Amino acid sequence: MDRTATRVCPLCEATCGLSITLSDEAVTRVRGNPDDVFSKGYLCPKGASLGRFDSDPDRLSAPLVRRPDGGFDEVGWAEAFEAVERGLRAVTERHGRDAVAVYMGNPVIHTLALPLYMLVLRERLGTRNVYSSTTLDTMPKSVACGLMYGDPLAFPLPDIDRTDHMLILGANPMESNGSLWTVADLPGRLKALRARGGRLVVVDPRRTRTADLADEHVPVRPGTDALLLLGIVHTLFDEDLATDPGAGFAGFAELSGHVKPFAAEEVAGACGVPARTIRRLARDLAAAPTAAVYGRLGTSTTEFGTLTSWLVDVVNIVTGNFDRPGGVLFGEAPHATRRPTEPFRTGRWHSRVRGLPEVNGELPTATLADEIETPGEGQVRALLCVAGNLVLAAPQGERLDRALPGLDFMVCVDPYLNETTRHASVILPPPSAMESPHYDVVLAGRSVRRNARFSPPVRALAPGRPSEAEIIARLVLIASGKSAAGDPQSVDESLIDLTLRAAVGRPDSPLRGRDPAELKARLTGDNALERRLDSMLRLGPAGDLFGIRADGLNLALLKATPNGIDLGPLRPRRGEVVMTASGRVELCPTALTEDLHRLHGRMRDLSSGELVLISRRQLKSVNSWSHNIPTLSGGTNRCALEISTEDAERLGVTAGDRVRVRGRGGEVVVPVEPTDRLRAGVVSLPYGWGHGRGGSRLSHAATQPGVSMNAVTDSSVVDPLSGTAVFNGVPVRVEKVAGAAPGTESGKPDSE
Ligand SMILES: Nc1nc2c(c(=O)[nH]1)N[C@H]1C(S)=C(S)[C@@H](COP(=O)(O)OP(=O)(O)OC[C@H]3O[C@@H](n4cnc5c(=O)[nH]c(N)nc54)[C@H](O)[C@@H]3O)O[C@H]1N2
Ligand SMILES: Nc1nc2c(c(=O)[nH]1)N[C@H]1C(S)=C(S)[C@@H](COP(=O)(O)OP(=O)(O)OC[C@H]3O[C@@H](n4cnc5c(=O)[nH]c(N)nc54)[C@H](O)[C@@H]3O)O[C@H]1N2
Ligand code: SF4
Ligand SMILES: [Mo]
């Protein structure tokens, strides 16, 4: 029997609504759901392949526990949890709580269960060794927003549907579909901007598909966007085009002083962009009726990631485009979210080996290998890795590949036996997305239109198989010193009690004085996790407040509305969001203006002319874990080093020749693809390849393994303010090799 179900896609931040056809419970077809209130039928090739992810024969269906001889045994769930309990307890009893590190990868934000439970798990583990993909990605933006607005999760989002002018730096949304910016059908919306007469400018060392669509492409030298943006801000002051944002903002007058050394004419050489272009970019932004500047991975994972992220917002503010329709607006989740309780600051503790500051309760993933390898008090001896593929994702991942086997104990919550999980002591595989309920706890708050959508599981869980929520809840029990065999729902029950008690206790709460038990009795949902979601929906800005707001949201309403509920466009709301100590938006936080000296000191080396490596994402890849899906690999989706035709000629290489790419972190041998899409002096590798390692079970990926870009990157270099890794602007040497075997990779450090 065929049937169809709706579900939001978990593969990227665009959150497209899908219509899924099942035949005898197997997914036979995935289409965009034309009635979805947010995505209106859009989908990309990855979403169309979601059924292949579901039916991939390499997905683990039972837990694996390592045998003394090194292989894995498939075991029952109770036995696997007992092994975790024993393993983690042995480490904490001997070495203390900080000896257990936790790493959370990117798919965390694409599930309902993980963002809700990982916070609790982190708290209960009580370790300072918390790591995540955030310090491989968005942390610079968080630090900038924390310092400017007081909330590290308050991200201004370009109002794409109403803007007249978009300046995009270091992002390729035509292929990535957007990031820190949840927009379904971003390609269509960028085209619509052009069609209504709006202007699109793309700053990127590579002429990407997004740049192909633009009115203007500015091929900047990698790692120099902070200088380019400073040149723009300088021009705005210099030519009297800067708008004083007024009383709610601190530091406008000071700003013009800070940008003094960065005139367009001063930075042009380092950026590789003519001064007249920089000045014109500034004038165009100032002249546009509305404009929005957006920067993503190419601006974030560089040595000056936090400065660049700050300057993107500075330009939006001093061109009068901050917190207004057509400019940038803060996102707004429809459910209750955690707000910070104290002004943002970093460095409440430091990493043991390199002394890097804590940010948002985390330490930089770039220093995890140091913490595992360096003996002494506080050494990391166990790792809990949830939805992460550290070996391919972290800078100098080959070093982690060598360090992980030295751990006393390692638990992975992951559906695959892959490059990282092959080092685990225990692997706990979550069920497929098809068997998991979904609501975008994180991404709903980054969405260009406010909306609420709930997807029930498309298919029932196999009997005896725990949901991802149950897996993590049992880990929470273990971390709380209880038995993993206890009741996992007790974790949610106690969290619901806490939330409701707080809601009735707040002096300004509309629910003040109500009985929490009475409110709890009204929650609906098929399990405790769903009831927890119901409480968050009901207490949120669009919630029904347990009946006070007649048309407000609750879970039952979302279940009755499978295509979702649109709650309208974003609105100006900085008054609600900004929570700095001064109560004003801080245009010139000291930590940032001080970092300008480091940038100024580096201006010369940035234009040294050595070859630098940048990363790229591919339309048919999902980071490191989709290459096992045959429909998403092969053809144009392969691993090769792009090189400018000019550099190819200089090195005497032509398409398909093999080259050795050597960086400070190590080297790879990879075929080249000369292209006129790259500016000279820049080479580009796709991120996420490097499969085919012994002990992994990714049969299709092993047939075309590619090489890992992170065999070349260097974990000793980070953006110091956020601890974020550097994946763009990595100095490398490239030389032709004769007759090397395909995809050879030594990962041997060049100099350490
Ligand atoms: N050189 C270079 N390195 C980079 C980047 C780059 O551009 N260049 N990009 C960086 C960025 S932006 C990011 S976000 C990081 C990503 O870093 P990671 O998140 O560590 O890596 P991913 O490749 O996303 O791997 C996700 C893992 O989660 C598993 N998984 C998939 N779905 C689920 C699920 O539902 N539940 C669970 N429990 N597990 C699941 C997959 O099998 C895989 O092992 O990589 C970073 N690394
Ligand atoms: N198809 C697909 N979509 C994805 C993913 C995927 O793997 N595949 N991954 C998801 C994840 S985890 C993320 S974080 C997002 C990332 O989303 P994006 O940031 O939009 O994606 P990237 O392709 O990494 O784009 C970075 C761009 O920066 C450019 N660049 C590199 N260095 C510099 C520089 O110094 N300055 C400037 N101005 N540009 C530079 C690169 O050429 C590239 O075009 O994508 C998400 N969506
Ligand atoms: S754009 Fe992203 S959310 Fe939409 S179908 Fe593709 S992978 Fe899924
Ligand atoms: Mo990412």
pLDDT tens digits, residue range 372-406?
Answer: 999 999 999 999 999 999 999 999 999 999 999 99
Tokens (6 digits) for 144: 């900038």
Q: How far apart are CA 193 and CA 196, in angstroms?
A: 5
CA of 504 to the centre of ligand 1 (A): 39
Choice from 106, 132, 179, 637 to test ligand 2 binding pocket (greatest atom count within 8 A of CB): 179
Ligand 1 pocket residue status of 387, Cβ below 6 Å:
yes
415 CB near ligand 1 (under 6 Å):
yes
What distance in Å separates the CA atoms of residue 169 and residue 297, rounded to the nearest whole number? 9
- Spell out the alpha helix ranges (H) of 342-467: 368-373, 390-393, 397-403
For β-strands 382-386 and 100-104, DSSP reports them as: parallel
Element (H, E) at 66: strand 64-66
- Residue 670 contacts residue 743 (beta carbons within 8 Å): yes
- 412 C-alpha vs ligand 1 centroid, how far in Å? 13
Q: Strand 100-104 and strand 130-132: pairing? A: parallel
Atom of ligand 2 nearest to the CA of 623: 7
Structure tokens at 663: 């960086």
275-317, pLDDT tens digit by residue? 999 999 999 999 999 999 999 999 999 999 999 999 999 999 9
| Cα of 32 from ligand 3 centre, angstroms | 9
Q: Is the CB of 206 under 6 A from ligand 2?
A: yes
In angstroms, the CA 505 to CA 489 distance is 24
Task: List the strands of the sheet with 216-218, edge to edge.
Answer: 216-218, 199-203, 165-169, 292-295
The answer, yes or no, to whether any atom of ligand 2 lies below 6 A from the CB of 205, is: yes
Report how far ligand 4's centroid is from the alpha carbon of 106 (Å): 6
Strand partners, 31: 19
Token output for 382 = 């166990």
Hey, whose CA ends up nearest to atom 8 of ligand 3?
A: 47
Query: In ligand 2, which atom is closest to the CA atom of 106?
Result: 12
Ligand 2 centroid vs 732 CA: distance in angstroms?
Answer: 20
Residue 748: the pLDDT is 43
Q: Quick one: which atom of ligand 3 is closest to the CA of 18?
A: 5
Q: What is the pLDDT of residues 199-248, one digit of tens each?
A: 999 999 999 999 999 999 999 999 999 999 999 999 999 999 999 999 99
Distance CA 724, CA 229 (A): 20
Residues 6+ apart with CB under 8 A from 598: 304, 720
Q: Which residue positions in the chain have pLDDT lower than 50? A: 740, 743-752
Helix and strand element counts for the chain (H, E): 25, 29
Q: Is the CB of 105 under 6 A from ligand 1?
A: yes
Which phi and psi angles does 643 have, rounded to 5°?
-140, 145
Sign of CA dihedral 328, 332, 338, 342: positive
Question: Which ligand is nearest to the Cα of residue 12, counting in written order?
Answer: 3
> Rounded to the nearest whole angstrom, what is the distance from the C-alpha of residue 173 to the centroid of ligand 3?
12
Q: Which ligand is nearest to the CA of 617?
A: 2
The CB of 169 under 6 Å from ligand 2? The reply is yes
The residues lining ligand 3, judged by C-beta closer than 6 Å to any ligand atom, are 9, 11-12, 14-16, 43-44, 46-47, 177
Contact between residue 230 and residue 318 where contact means Cβ atoms under 8 Å apart:
no
User: Which of 11, 109, 209 best tests ligand 3's pocket when mutated (most atoms within 8 Å of CB)?
Assistant: 11
State whether the Cα torsion 543-146-180-686 is positive or negative: negative
Is 297 a pocket residue for ligand 1 (Cβ < 6 Å)? yes
How far apart are the CA of 468 and the centre of ligand 1, in A? 17
- Residue 385 has φ and ψ, to the nearest 5°, of -110, 115
Task: In whole angstroms, give the CA distance from residue 353 to residue 718.
Answer: 14
Q: Rounded CA gap, 270 and 304, in Å?
A: 14
Average pLDDT, the chain: 95
Q: Is 713 exposed, middle or buried (0-12, 13-18, 19+ CB in 10 A)?
A: buried
Nearest-angstrom CA–CA distance, 690 and 570 = 41
727 lines ligand 1 (CB under 6 A): yes
- State the Cα–Cα distance between residues 436 and 414, nearest whole angstrom: 14
Looking at residue 739, what is its pLDDT?
66
pLDDT of residue 13: 98
Round to whole Å and give the CA distance between 154 and 323. Answer: 12
Q: Which residue's CA is the closest to the ligand 1 atom numbered 37?
A: 387
Polymer length of the chain: 752
pLDDT at 635: 84
Pocket test for ligand 2, best of 297, 299, 626 (most atoms within 8 A of CB): 297
Q: What phi, psi does 406 have (nearest 5°)?
A: -80, -10
In this prediction the pTM is 0.97
- Residue 609: what pLDDT? 74
What is the per-residue pLDDT for 342? 86
Alpha carbon nearest to ligand 2 atom 33, residue: 298
Question: At 503, is the secondary structure helix, strand, or coil?
Answer: helix
| DSSP code at position 623 | T
Among 181, 384, 623, 693, name the best residue to mutate to test ligand 1's pocket (greatest count of ligand atoms within 8 A of Cβ).
Answer: 623
C-alpha–C-alpha distance, residues 204 and 174, integer Å? 13
Please give the number of the atom of ligand 2 that sits closest to the Cα of 208.
Answer: 44
Q: Is the dihedral of CA 618, 687, 221, 243 positive or negative?
A: positive
CA distances from 194 to 40, 70, 200, 213, 219 (A): 20, 57, 7, 9, 20
Helix (H) or strand (E) holding 618: none
